[in-house]
Chain A
Amino acid sequence: MSHPIIHMENISKHFGNVIALNGVTFDVRPGECHCLLGDNGAGKSTFIKTMSGVHKPTGGSITFEGRPMSFDSPRDAMEAGIATVFQDLAMIPLMSVTRNFFMGREPTKGRGLFKRFDIDTANDITRAEMRRMGINLRSPEQAVGTLSGGERQTVAIARAVYFGAKVLILDEPTSALGVRQTSNVLATIDRVRSQGIGVVFISHNVRHALAVGDRFTVLNRGQTLGTATKGEITATELQDLMAGGQELAVLEGSLGGTV
């Protein structure tokens, strides 16, 4: 097995007297999809924010490509190669797909006073990158607001991949999506993984996680309950872990196994 790109050891994070994370250990290897599962408030978002430079951990250590690392800002993490696609996506609906894709990192041509945004190149790249992700844009100049939720998600992912992400963090990318769009995003994750990028996939949904995940880590009340590899664990076992074990068994009877 290859070495992890990023290794987070025993991470804790306190917000005043709230202990959001209490010793979480997690790593991502190139070309794998590592799922982070847990119930509401388990600390998933907080955890990936320490990974993407938004929060500084209160305790624990981060090793990036074998070296100890501490990110001061999301920009730092981005430059190191950690791209995060947040639930709100950081997209601007009124702007074209291309303009969103290259926002803040526009390719230019010409020099001096005539240095300009190379729209044609940008359009071509956007179209090509989106096609690589399995989406055919009507036009790269169409506004992002006209895209479906899954397509927007894909733009965000494609952008991260294009700009050289080594680790791609996706915070609940499927929670707001329909069946078909979910399967599109899951297929996209699979494509990204096959390019050697380490994917962190956060989800509530065990079935989505099992569909693409290679490893599964369950968080509960700010702590890791352990990491399992694909094939070692069943959906029911994961479900039980997420809920903290006992309560779900009771529920299961009355809901007839629908959860």
Chain B
Amino acid sequence: MSTDTLAKTDERIKSESLATKLMKRPELGAIGGVILVTIFFLITADRSMFTLSGIMNFMTPAAQLGILGIAAAMLMIGGEFDLSIGSMVAFAGMIFGVFTVNMGLPLILAIPLTIAFAAVLGAANGLIVIRTGLPSFIVTLAGLFVLRGASLVGLKIFTGGATQLRGVREAVASDFLTPIFSGDAFGFLFDWLAKAGVIDAFKSGAPKVPGVPVEIIWFILFALIATWVLLRTPFGNWIFATGGDALAAENSGVPVRRVKIMLFMLTATAAALVAIITVIDAGSTDARRGFMKEFEAIITAVIGGCLLTGGYGSAIGAFFGAILFGMVTIGLTYTRFDQDWFQVFLGAMLLIAVLFNNAIRKRVTGER
């Protein structure tokens, strides 16, 4: 078996069709889900859902959730959970509010400091998980309560008794970095398109949709970078290896501990980024910010194809998972269905996703 084998090998590659290859991709379920849900809403929802403003309407919450979901997906591929993300949004929001309002720091200081603060807390999560060997589920569940409580107490301390810290928008209004973290991007383009009559405009000539909300840009960028890191860098390979089998990875020279700590830092900083964007947008912060987001982020990751056992998943999957989530949440308001069906939808989607992922995993490993 040496000379004639080349031809034989090639022939066997071809026997795996594009369709079977696609069937093995983790993001398949989420993309299929988006298509199905789009069809569903095309039939049941008001037409305005799929106009430009309707799309921005569901993409904005999808983007905010998606930034968390992609980070959660990477951590999950690395074999761990972070249940403290939602509380981290509240906590980082408070820290950010204190930096900008109470201390009057410019964004160029306030943002890196907030991110660094969150990263340190994320590293602490990671260190505790690694040092104790406890499941991250429990360790970060503790974080969920600690950070939520600390946000509440902290807000009272810094506002002198209130649970809401106001005045963020005023504090950052004239900052040169504000447009990167709030408002709409590509305004000039939308103005131009409105003038050209391509998109809807008000009578004054201003476009009805003034631009792309910046979080959507962040969301897309993050999805692209995360995908690149996962699939095209050594670090990405280490993430899959760490989640696939930490001991085997360690024995092969993968710095498993470093990988895990960095992933916990990533989820925490993603939470801080979402906090910064939403706090500037709202102009204030309170202790309920990010409530339940840890579960929504995990659901996003699972719909996106992550296995709960780690070692398998995709950032692009989580990207579509978040869009699916946004569509279902917002889309129901465009239909005549009771909006409260949303949770039923979500639970069903989660269940279907888990079953689907399980089937895909069996396909990939050739289990029967």
A contact residues vs B (CB 8 Å cutoff): 74-75, 78, 86, 88-95, 99, 102-106, 108, 115-117, 119, 131, 134, 136-139, 143, 145-146
Contact = CB atoms under 8 A, between A and B. Distances in A.
A94 B232 contact: no
A145 B366 contact: yes
Contacts of B228: 116
Which 6 A-B pairs have CB atoms at the shortest separation, nearest pair first?
Answer: A145-B365, A104-B253, A92-B244, A146-B366, A106-B234, A90-B248
A91 B248 contact: yes
Interface stretch (B4-12, B33-41, B208-216): B4-12
Contacts of A137: 9
Assign chain B's interface to a size class.
20 to 34
Contact of A136 (B9, B238, B240): B9
Interface string B282-317: 000000000000000000000000010001100000
Dominant SS among interface residues on chain A: loop
Interface in B214-255: 228, 232-234, 236-238, 240-241, 244-245, 247-249, 251-254
A90 B252 contact: yes
B134 to A, nearest CB: 23
Interface of B: 1, 5, 8-9, 12-13, 15-16, 228, 232-234, 236-238, 240-241, 244-245, 247-249, 251-254, 307, 311-312, 361, 364-367
B233 A103 contact: no
Nearest to B366: A146
Nearest to A131: B5
B106 to A, nearest CB: 27
Nearest to A84: B251
A106 B307 CA distance: 24
A115 B229 CA distance: 10
Nearest to B249: A103
A102 B237 CA distance: 9
B311 A95 contact: yes
A136 B241 contact: no
Contacts of A145: 364-367
B366 A117 contact: no
Contacts of B244: 92-95
Contacts of B361: 94
Contacts of B367: 145
Given A90-B251, A136-B9, A95 B241 contact: yes
A9 to B, nearest CB: 27
Nearest to A104: B253
A146 B365 contact: yes
Given A93-B365, A104-B254, A139-B13, A117 B240 contact: no
Nearest to A75: B253
A206 B133 CA distance: 42
A138 B16 contact: yes
Contacts of A95: 237, 240-241, 244, 311
A74 B249 CA distance: 13
Contact of B234 (A92, A94, A108): A108
A115 B232 contact: no
A104 B228 CA distance: 18
B1 A134 contact: yes
Given A86-B251, A92-B240, 14 more contacts: A92-B248, A92-B311, A102-B237, A103-B241, A103-B252, A104-B238, A104-B254, A106-B237, A116-B232, A119-B232, A136-B5, A136-B12, A138-B16, A139-B16
22 contacts: A90-B251, A90-B252, A92-B241, A93-B365, A94-B244, A94-B361, A95-B311, A99-B240, A99-B241, A102-B237, A104-B252, A105-B252, A105-B253, A106-B234, A106-B237, A136-B9, A136-B12, A138-B13, A138-B16, A143-B364, A143-B365, A146-B366
Nearest to B362: A145
A104 B241 contact: yes
